[in-house]
Amino acid sequence: MKIQVKQGNGLEEAAQVVVVTVFEGVTKPTGFLKEIDDRVNQQLSTLIKRGIFFGKQDQVLTVHGVYDKHAFSVLFMGLGKKETCDYVRLRHIAGNASRAAISLKSSEVSWIVDAELSGSFDAFKLGQSLTEGFLMGKYQYTTYKSSDETTHISGLTFSLDSGKIKNEFTRGHTKGIILAESVIIARDLANAPPNVLTPKHFVEEAKKTFKKIPSVSIEVIDKKKALKLGMHAFLGVAQGSVLDPYMLVLSYNVQKKSTPICFVGKGVTFDTGGISIKPAAKMQDMKADMTGGASVLAALYAIARLESKGSFMAVIPLVENMPSGNAQRPGDIVTAMNGKTIEIINTDAEGRLILADALCYAVSQGASQLIDIATLTGACSVALGSAAAGILGNNQNMIHRFEEISHFTGEKVWQLPLYEEYLELLKSDVADISHCYEGREGGTCTAAKFLEQFVDKTPWVHLDIASVMMYKENKGYRVKGMAAEGVRNLIEYACQPALLK
């Protein structure tokens, strides 16, 4: 897809669809808006006067016109009230615009950024937000469709009213492309069928992704090496499957004496629940139980493309959780890489086991900060619905930084407690710790408390994204299917990591 930024009125492009934004309360088109209105025979003015269109949030008006013998459609997108419009709303508006253009069978789109819009926002963030929203909103997973009749947008031009903002807008726009591409990488992985995206195939996809990015090195810890490292919590989950497990390690700018910020992502390529098998209903969605792994892979991709400062590492434990004659049993005891013994209570609480060894490995590599992300607990959905991911950790500065970032990205997080009382619920009579609590209360918090036992004293944050694993409908930049929510939070954090005391 060709994307460019130009100065002009937008009608000079051979676009089939022109996108124009309008704040709520408009009474008369002025400036660029008037010029566009003139080209469509004052249809906008007429509909404003009649009270049919007034720029209300998410209101879309489609009109048609001709310019220099070129027929086109105009999408007037309502922004809502200027004083409450933010970058999250802009992304949603851009996502709606991309799908509206697709519905109009348009392959070429021109987006007019007039003085009123550019004067209301920081030019860099404006360029980033509009680009991210548009590209994420047009996402479609059609890999396995034998017939795809959907129109695909091949060109997008941002036409700027003012040349003064072009440089900053273009810089933001470039970053927006990279972040959107990263989200799409993670969405493609999460949407892929589990018979295709096995642990081995995930490793192959990682190698393909970073083939032309030499700043990222790849290490693959196989079953033999994991056994030598003492990763029995990780290996125990994998033993029920015929597919071999892998611990994938991605490193960016990591030298011998580096203390990298380390992302750890859960990579269960399919989760049946193991011996503690899940109910059949919606089990197909468990193909996305590797979204955390996909998210940290995508984050490293963006970090490298953006040439971020500092050193970063991603550790992705990849397994399939299956029931078989070799499967892990409730009542088994395994030993993690740090020497802690773990009593297995429910084999459907497998994610925390593979993360335990992944966190231990990150600590052994000198991680200065740990951020793990996982579709970990259904309890997170009970607590937060589908509005936000849960965030917990041992460092409040890091948590606050993620909260601040989420206000810009729209990937909401909500802090849950990590009280010592939760550790009491994980006591075992036969091992150092039991890996889950079978009661109904505090499921997300006890899971995080378990993970905390494997981070040593490293500053650490845990993101439970089970509540935001998938979108149920198209809305703004959110497209029905697996969400890959959290990718942009990780990238923005990497761009400006929290300052620790």
Residue 486 within a domain: yes
In a shared domain, residues 216 and 169? no
Q: Point out the catalytic residue in the list 287, 352, 401, 478.
A: 352
Q: Point out the catalytic residue in the list 56, 278, 340, 480.
A: 278
Q: Which domain holds residue 310?
A: 192-495
Q: CB neighbours of 30 closer than 8 A, spacing ≥ 6?
A: none
Tens-place pLDDT, residues 287-318: 999 999 999 999 999 999 999 988 999 999 99
Burial (0-12, 13-18, 19+ Cβ within 10 Å), 330: middle
Q: Is 278 a catalytic residue?
A: yes
Identify the pLDDT of residue 499.
Answer: 55
* CA-based R_g, the chain, Å: 24
384, containing H or E segment: helix 378-384
Tens-place pLDDT, residues 337-354: 999 999 999 999 999 999
Please say whether the beta carbons of 85 and 93 come within 8 A. Answer: no
Please say whether the beta carbons of 162 and 118 come within 8 A. Answer: yes
pTM: 0.95
**Which residue spans within 87-231 are E strands per DSSP?**
108-113, 155-160, 216-221
Closest by alpha carbon to 115, among 28, 40, 46, 21? 21
Identify the pLDDT of residue 107.
Answer: 87
Please say whether the beta carbons of 280 and 274 come within 8 A. Answer: no
Name the domain count of the chain: 2
Please say whether the beta carbons of 417 and 449 come within 8 A. Answer: no
Identify the pLDDT of residue 500.
Answer: 55
In a shared domain, residues 359 and 235? yes
Identify the pLDDT of residue 106.
Answer: 86
Q: Which residues of the chain register pLDDT less than 70?
A: 10-14, 67-69, 497-501
In a shared domain, residues 282 and 430? yes
Place of tokens 């720029």: 55
In a shared domain, residues 249 and 354? yes
Please say whether the beta carbons of 389 and 485 come within 8 A. Answer: yes
Burial (0-12, 13-18, 19+ Cβ within 10 Å), 325: exposed
Neighbours of 58 (CB within 10 A): 14
Alpha-carbon gap, residue 44 to 76, rounded angstroms: 9
Identify the pLDDT of residue 501.
Answer: 43
Residue 421 within a domain: yes
In a shared domain, residues 171 and 282? no
User: Which is it for strands 341-343 and 333-335: parallel, antiparallel or unpaired?
Assistant: antiparallel
| Token digits of residue 93 | 């508006």
Please say whether the beta carbons of 298 and 275 come within 8 A. Answer: no
- CATH no. for residue 112? 3.40.220.10
Residue 184 within a domain: no
Domain edge (last residue) among 135, 153, 179: 179
In a shared domain, residues 120 and 217? no
Identify the pLDDT of residue 8.
Answer: 77
